[in-house]
Amino acid sequence: MSAFLSLRVQFGQYTCRSCLARLSKAAKRHSSTVSSQSQLRRPSPVNKSKLPPSPARTRFAPSPTGYLHLGSLRTALFNYLLAKRTGGQFLLRIEDTDKKRTIPDAEKRLFQDLRWAGLEWDEGPEVGGPYGPYKQSERTDIYHEHAEILLKSGRAYRCFCTAHRLSELAEQRSKLGLPTDYDRTCASIPKEESDSRAAQGEKHVVRLLVPDVYPQFVDLVYGNVGRTLKPGRRGDEAYEDPILLKTDGLPTYHLANVVDDHHMKITHVIRGTEWLPATPKHLAMYEAFGWTPPEFAHVGLLTDQEGNKLSKRNFDTDIASFRDKMGVFPEALANFVALLGWSHGSRSDVMAMNDLINKFTMKFTKGNTTVTLGKLWFLQNEHARIRTNDGGKEFDEMVDKVVELVSRNSSLRDYETILEGRSLRNYVAQIIRADAKNYATADDFVSRSHFFFTRLNHPTSVTDAPGIPTLAKDLAEIPEGEWQLDRLKAKIKEITANAQGVANPAKEVYHHLRKVLADGKDGAGVADIMAILGHKESLRRLGVDECHQMC
């Protein structure tokens, strides 16, 4: 007796030979139909660097069971960029049927985080559209209608097996080294009996009757996929037959995903490779309904340097943390995420959203992508420089944040004396303009620029080069009314030329000036620092007393 047959006898679910023969014939007819349809609908190979010839309709369909993370933001961004690049539409759909795992504020946070990152959806919650509702919890009747279509066509069946039986079956099959898929016990139940048991309220699920061989398809990243994926395994009578409707009447991801994508006219689906094994099941469902499936592009997972999938333990923090705790700019984060698994032909990796849209193609890299935050901070610096050069509200936001931090830091109150009536906001704006290339976050910038807000004590010895401290005091020759950047640079050059008997006068002069003016910290140029500090404070730090200045 085969291992499968012994299990069927043990669980009291033996199926007679005539029923098995009937099932076998039906499966063969189904397989033949699917095979011919597959040949007709199989997409032709596509150059993955090319764009579709017509506007693409894409979607991002998150579940409110958690907050938006790097991986999910990347999925949303790739779909958004394809839609915008081709003049199509980007949809947002909420897959909220898993009520037990739903987090109360996740949906609201999702909307906030997507908009902050620059991703506005054309159709979806809070926006509307012609194919709504855009929340799966409001589409239950639609899923029931389509499950009934499959039941009537014989492409699906009701399964009345209890959770206990399924658990024991899986356990026994696992012990025998067999796949733990379903054994299709309930597929042999006559339709009249199935309808009657369901009408009497007997608990059941609805399963898809998958073909013997899944339809082959062309993935836009991985090419031909599906030739070796066979749900029915000879000799062990195991079938994947995914559940479409659960016992509570709610749809699984498989049914809702396919039905929604079809009715919302989605043309392209970009998603992670973790969904690649499920795609043949989805294509089998498209075939069962007689629908043309969208194009699929599966992108590799995001991993850490050890090859582990990103998690909370290895910096896959939610997007709000990048914004609120780390102070990352939205354009820097979008730029960073776009580069994770996407190849472009530009010389520079620094791109604003419009640049990403204009340069986007379907050229994704195969395999997983290692994430390191060094690139993020490089892009943050570059976008800080761009914000500073462009001015406008983004630069104003940088200034306001630094002003806020300085104002509430009691250890930096010296700035009121240094300013001598000048505007703190204008003062901070000058500092950022002079040192934008080193701007990472407001907190970091305030920390590295503390010398602008604190009255440093004049050190007694800052260089071993003789005469340089004295020469540096010649800066006092510049009148207060001429204390400008060009004049300061010229004077520093003159002081360097007058430094006799010093091996490297330029190095020693700048070392001395940076030490007394900026506590030795790197950052803006010394002439910029003096221009920002002003005439009086700069000379005080150089050790020039008021009498010397007046004389």
Catalytic residues: 312
- Is the distance from CB of 68 to CB of 109 less than 8 angstroms? yes
Q: The tokens 């007694």 sit on which residue?
A: 460
Cβ–Cβ < 8 Å for 491, 542:
no
Q: What is the token pair recorded at 108? A: 């609201």
Cα 47–chain centre separation: 25
User: What's the half-sphere exposure (Cβ side, CA atoms, 13 Å) at 336?
Assistant: 27
Q: Is 550 exposed, middle or buried (0-12, 13-18, 19+ CB in 10 A)?
A: exposed
Neighbours of 96 (CB within 10 A): 17
Q: Which amino acid is at 337?
A: V
Which residues are CB-neighbours of 6 under 8 A, at least 6 positions away?
Answer: none
Peptide bond connecting 133 to the previous residue in cis, omega within 30 degrees of 0: yes
- Residue among 349, 348, 388, 343 at smallest CA distance from 367: 343
Q: How far is CA 526 from its chain centroid?
A: 40
CA distance 317 to 322: 7
Residue type, 514: R
Question: For residue 269, which of 489, 59, 534 has the smallest C-alpha distance?
Answer: 59
SS3 content of the chain, % helix, strand, coil (to 5): 50, 10, 40
529 phi, psi to nearest 5 deg: -60, -45
Pairing state of beta strands 223-225 and 217-219?
antiparallel
Residue 271: phi and psi, rounded to 5, are: -155, 170
Q: Tokens for 126?
A: 């809070």
Give the whole-angstrom CA distance, residue 18 versus residue 21: 5
Long-range contacts for 24-33 (Cβ within 8 Å, ≥24 apart)?
26/154, 27/209, 27/211, 27/212, 27/232, 28/212, 30/154, 30/155, 30/209, 30/211, 30/212, 31/211, 31/212, 31/213
Q: Strand pairing of 243-245 and 223-225?
A: unpaired
Residue 31 · residue 213 · CB < 8 Å: yes
What residues does 207 pair with on adjacent strands? 157, 243
Pairing of strands 223-225, 295-299: unpaired
